[in-house]
A and B are shown apart, each in its own frame.
Chain A
């Protein structure tokens, strides 16, 4: 497997540096993945839709960055720019019985599963029209009606939850899987290993997708992890594991489809490491240049940008014209712009709404079974 690592030790060149080294040529799409049935059967409409989804994610993220800079968004904003092919590729091979859970860099997955830009942008703005009614923010998007279970802020904290979703599917006899996305940094959290053990021991249909963007916040993989590749850690638990290139939509789709078939047909878990790259800092407040070079970022953009690579493919196949590609891009930009306008025009939640959504029971007083005081700051509590 070539080009797995983003070695960012700027003072020494290592032989494993290949992911973004200035001398690396633009990657060639692998025939193995193009010929995979999940890709060879794609029609023009499906391909264009995936390209459009990646564009929509990127333009949404860019617009949200502007809104952050304009002061409309508070807290953290972890952008997905550069990683689009991972979420879009993975989600594109899901069935309606499959479910998704992810970490705090969740906007890309949210849009990929079909969440509306308006509700996502409004959530970032802290508005009542947000997907979590302004209670969750950037890191906590949810859409259970789209099998999307968050949006989780604590690194690795979602890995046991993904296991539980898979457990529930198996328990109910549903032939589906849980796609549990995580970053490379999360592979060093204890609950991840506990989850791998249970996933394999109990044969639960969970797929851990390590989106390895090379950095755990500002700490390069070479400084945060012993042993490589990260996915090999699944080997200790007798799990299927493999490493893939995240700039190649077809490779992501092929790997995901194989893992999903194993999960669906045999309830077998997998660990997939998808090597990718983020163009922006860990969060937008990140100094960025302290731990990686501008050249490294530019090199990746130039040679491995997942959107450019896929657009070129579609152009070469004659499925897309330059003009049509521009129109798709404009439409994504317009949609993102409209979502910002929607968010700006939306009302903030009322202070009285602070007390909503804490307990199911207090939200559903007609079904209240307990008595007594539930809240102890009397300014708002009844």
Chain B
């Protein structure tokens, strides 16, 4: 166990899985010579050479589709999107081809592929570079989607994703890349998809979140405990599809009050589905209506003054939490 960054945890996961399985390759824009736009793949070209760490042109549709075709043939490509926002020019390859080929072939084919990269706002890069498409992916049967929020999860879930026999969308976060945490160095350290994590225990209110919103939720939990004497439980979903519904219901039954926090835009966001599931399956355990904090429902703003308010921040989440207690 060593303390490393989220970025290095991803790097370790990639390195270990490429060493372990000759079918695993990493491809994307600037992943090799440039060492990755966010340096996630730093050192991998030197270690594995250009046949495994592959620089592509800026051609998301072609290299995403190429990777899907290679996966149909039994390879296990890891495709890096510099930003998940760029998947929109490769939409057909991911959402039609990767997601549907197994179904349309009556189960004759499977597509063991990983699409990964950052999917977040908060870095003042404007509307085109700040998308959080985990809800699109989760809305597409055939795809799995995960949003690790800690270095340990980044490693353990990335390794699980690469070993998975279905397409997995791994949505990382540029702001988390420098986050440090304890990460096991066991080469078979795997965190199974679909298992939520209790980030902190409490009795008065459950905050359910995914991705960087988990870190925000933890800060709010601290404030609520210190200044308002409220005990908050934070559940980190980790995985959107598959979804740990049991863990969600468990925390609802325990605290009877729920605040959902995500960076998705609200309409048909992930938490819309979570709220539906809670009211359907734990209605009698609710002492208050379910509340949500999501991104403010406009295209992502550029200005720091606007965007720092737009995505769920400490004060917005705190204010909403206080409405619930």
Contacts and interface: CB of A to CB of B under 8 A. Distances in A.
Interface of A: 101, 130-136, 140, 142-144, 149-154, 157, 159-169, 171-172, 178, 190-191, 194-195, 197-198, 201, 356-361, 363-364, 367, 369-376
B36 interface: no
Contacts of A130: 106
Contact of B62 (A160, A168, A360): A160
B166 A151 contact: no
B273 A372 contact: no
A151 B74 CA distance: 19
18 contacts: A136-B104, A149-B69, A151-B104, A157-B96, A161-B68, A164-B67, A164-B69, A169-B73, A171-B75, A172-B73, A201-B57, A357-B105, A359-B102, A370-B160, A371-B192, A371-B193, A372-B195, A372-B242
B166 A357 contact: no
Given A201-B57, A369-B163, A135 B103 contact: yes
A374 B242 contact: yes
A372 B247 CA distance: 9
B65 interface: yes
A369 B160 contact: yes
Contact of B165 (A134, A172, A361, A371): A361
Contacts of A178: 69
The 9 closest A-B pairs by CB, nearest first: A164-B69, A160-B65, A372-B194, A194-B62, A133-B106, A372-B242, A168-B73, A357-B107, A142-B105
B179 interface: no
B273 A376 contact: yes
A373 B276 CA distance: 14
Interface string B236-249: 00010111111000
Interface of A is mostly: mixed
Instruction: Name the residue in B62, B72, B142, B163 with the highest tally of chain A Cβ atoms < 10 Å from its Cβ.
Output: B62
A150 B105 contact: yes
B68 A356 contact: no
B289 interface: no
A370 B193 contact: yes
Interface string B87-110: 000001100110001111111111
Contacts of A153: 96
Given A142-B101, A161-B72, 13 more contacts: A130-B106, A165-B69, A167-B66, A171-B51, A178-B69, A197-B57, A198-B56, A198-B57, A198-B63, A201-B57, A360-B110, A371-B195, A372-B239
B259 to A, nearest CB: 21
Contacts of B224: none
B114 interface: no
Given A154-B92, A357-B103, A370-B192, A165 B59 contact: no
Given A370-B242, A376-B273, A140 B105 contact: yes
B73 A361 contact: no
Given A171-B75, A370-B193, A372-B193, A164 B66 contact: yes
Contacts of A160: 61-66, 68-69, 93
A168 B107 contact: no
Given A157-B65, A157-B96, A164-B72, A360 B242 contact: no
Contacts of B103: 135-136, 357-358
A360 B165 contact: yes
Nearest to A145: B108
Given A195-B65, A197-B57, A359-B142, A164 B71 contact: yes
Instruction: Name the residue in B101, B160, B277 with the highest tally of chain A Cβ atoms < 10 Å from its Cβ.
Output: B101
Interface in B171-194: 190, 192-194
B93 A134 contact: no
A190 B90 CA distance: 10
Contact of A157 (B97, B141, B164, B273): B97
A93 B97 CA distance: 28
Contacts of A144: 72, 105, 108-109
Nearest to A367: B165
A190 B89 CA distance: 10
Contacts of B25: 171
A168 B108 contact: no
A357 to B, nearest CB: 4
Interface string B271-295: 0010001000000000000000000
Contacts of A376: 243, 273, 277
A167 B241 contact: no
Contact of B70 (A101, A133, A167, A371): A167
Given A140-B104, A357-B103, A357-B107, A371 B194 contact: yes
